Each structure stands twice: as structure tokens, then as C-alpha cells.
Amino acid sequence: MSCNVDDSDEIFDDDDDDCSMEVCTKDSHHSGPSNMPESCYVKLTADDIVKEQRKLIQNVVELTKLPGHTARQLLQEMKWSFENVAVLYYDDQDKLFAKAGISVNGEAIDAVAVRGSSGSFVLDQQTITCQVCLEDFEREEAEKGMSTASGCGHVFCNACWVRHITTQVKEGQAARISCAGETFVEGKRRRCNIILDECFVEELLRGSGGSAEILKKYQTRLIDSYVNNNPTIKWCPATDCTNAIRVTDSFDPSSFDTSVECSDGHVWCFNCLDEPHAPAECSNVKEWRKKCQEDSATSNWLVAYTKDCPNCKVAINKDGGCNHM
């Protein structure tokens, strides 16, 4: 990489005595933002994230032949890395399943106690009672108006499912909405711990009695739980921006420049979410921000933490020497 100076641009502005960071935003410049090769990261929109998440779940379902909700739990547990799930799957299945709280045959350990408890969907019965509203359903009515959670077999009427899910979403749940059923564990009654599959939830919320607002909230939270539990993905910190960045294996968090650019052109440091700050390190920026807060007269961080590269006159980190020589 060359050390060409873009002479039309000043890296920092000495006169600037407020705390904004005036940094060159030209990609051509070696200390400018987004200097990181684009192979190091992928630009994502909210839709891309949903698709990516579904694809990962599908991959795990195909690999392990487990139901979707279990695959989701496994991925959540393994920080959404398919590779990690796959490696452990071939290496030590018991350990993998234990990690996600599921037994070897793919059922939640606690859910085993559910079998034989109230509400299993037995179609040879004439009527079936919804154990939530205590309403009786005839066979044909039940087939249309009731649904069963996969994994435990608890059956409730769709209206009760919708109300249960709606209450849970309102309370802030999404990725871990459990079945409305009850179970008996170690002599104690408690809720069934089967996590509802996202397709099951969405189908119910789209049906009668579900609200579009709750569905939207649910989907947003699911994405959040994916992004927040996935160290390789971060939301763009710009206000109201719904894009995200996923870094690839070639991303080096300790590299000289860790700034990335989202689909809408916002540029930020992937490590610390602050504005791009190469050649200063994230910790320098943090210190500088703190100092700024304490002392409004503090001058530009570049003055404090960098010096000019003797070769190209571009600001470089004071500790590191010029990274380009």
C-alpha cells in the first residue's frame, strides 16, 4: 500500500475546538475510513438478516434432522455459527444437545415429562377441550381451529395461542416464547419449556385474531436476538439506520483500520462503533471521548494521540510508527 498524500485534504482541523471528529473520508487515503478490503465484511439489510437467519436454521435442520425450534436453540447457543454447530455435531452430539438443553432424541429434556399430560392431540376422541379457555371442540372444528406445538404436543385453540403469544411479545419475548402448556417436573407444576417455532408463531399471528403490529414487533425482536447474539454482526450505529455489517473470517479486529461502510454509506469502526479513527486505536477514542466530556476545551484527539508520518505527513499512531513503511 502506498503512502500517497491526498494533499487537498487535511486529516484534522486544529482550529476545531468542539469534540466532533473531522476525519478525511476519502477511501483513497490510507488513514481514511473503509480502507478495509470489502472481502473483510458483508453489507446487510434487515431483509438479508432474516434470510440469513432462516438459511442457517434450515442448514442445521438438514444436518441434524431436528425440528426448527430446536435448531434455533442450538444456533442461539452456538452464537449463530453453523460451523461450530457442525463441528460439535460430528464431534460430540451429546455435548451439543446438552448445550441447548435438549436430549439425544431431540426433545427438550424437561419436555419429556409433558407426554401423557393434559391436552395431547388424540383425534380418535369425539371432542377435545382447550385447556386454556376450557372450551370444547368437536373433531372437525378442532382440526381447523386448534393447533399443536411441535415437540410437546400440547393442543390449544388458535384464539388462545394468539392471546398467549401476544402477551409474551408485549412482555418483550420473541426468540424464547414458550408453549402455553403446563408440565410436571420433579413433582412441581410449571410451564412447558418447549420454545415455539417461528413459523408456527407467524402463522398464528397472521390468522384471525393476530395483529400486524404484534407480528412486526415479534419479527423485529427475532432479528435483534440474532444480531445481538452473533459477534460477527453489528447494527449500523447511525440513527434510524436498519442496516448491519457482518465481518468475514478475513476480518482482523486488531488491524490498522477496522472501519466499515453500511449500504447507506455510513462509515464506522466495527470494533467500537465510533466514527472511523485510524490510525488511533479504539481505546484512544474512548479516552478522548471521556476527556472531552470532562474538559470541553480538549483539542482534537489526533493531536493528542498521533503524530505525522515523517514520510507522507499523514497522521499515524504515536505508539505504532507508520504502518505503511
Partner 1 sequence: MDLKRLKKESVELQEPIEKCGVTASPIKEDLSHWKGYILGPDDTAYAGGKFEIDIVLTSSYPFEPPKMKFNTKIWHPNVSSQTGAICLDILKKEWSPALTIKTALISVQALLAAPEPDDPQDAVVAQEYKSSIEKFKATAKLWTERYAKEGSMESIQPLLDMGFSEEQAKDALLEARGDVQAAVEKLLSGA
Q: Rule CB under 8 A: which residues touch partner 1?
A: 118-119, 131-135, 154, 156, 160, 163-164, 166-167, 179-182, 187-192
Task: Output the nine-digit C-alpha cell for 324.
Answer: 505503511
Catalytic pick among 160, 192, 236, 322: 322
Q: Which is nearer to Zn ion, 88 or 257 (CB)?
A: 257
Residue 8 vs residues 11, 16, 29, 259, 312: alpha-carbon distances, Å: 10, 18, 11, 22, 14
Pick the stretch among 6-14, 83-91, 117-125, 194-202 that binds Zn ion (CB under 5 A): 194-202
Q: Which of 5, 50, 63, 282 binds Zn ion (CB under 5 A)?
A: 282
Query: How many residues of this chain interact with Zn ion, rule: CB under 5 A?
Result: 28
How many whole angstroms separate alpha carbon 251 and alpha carbon 266? 19
Q: What minimum distance in Å lies between the beta carbon of 152 and partner 1?
A: 11
The verdict on 130 binding Zn ion (CB under 5 A) reads yes
**Residue ranges of E strands in 78-170:** 127-129, 136-138, 146-148, 155-157
**Residue ranges of E strands in the chain:** 41-44, 127-129, 136-138, 146-148, 155-157, 182-185, 188-191, 233-235, 244-247, 259-261, 267-269, 306-308, 315-317
Among Zn ion, partner 1, none, residue 119 binds (CB under 5-8 Å by kind):
partner 1
The verdict on 322 binding Zn ion (CB under 5 A) reads yes
The verdict on 241 binding Zn ion (CB under 5 A) reads yes
CB within 8 Å of 187: residues ≥ 6 apart: none
Among partner 1, Zn ion, none, residue 282 binds (CB under 5-8 Å by kind):
Zn ion
Q: Which of 21, 157, 215, 267 binds Zn ion (CB under 5 A)?
A: 157
Q: To the nearest 10°, the Cα dihedral for 56, 61, 63, 65?
A: 170
Q: Are 69 and 58 in contact (CB under 8 A)?
A: no
Q: What minimum distance in Å lies between the beta carbon of 213 and partner 1?
A: 17
Q: Which is nearer to partner 1, 51 or 191 (CB)?
A: 191
Is 322 a residue of the active site? yes
Which of 182, 142, 183 has the alpha carbon at shortest distance from 159? Answer: 142
The verdict on 119 binding Zn ion (CB under 5 A) reads no
Q: Which is nearer to Zn ion, 160 or 165 (CB)?
A: 160
Active site (catalytic) residues: 322
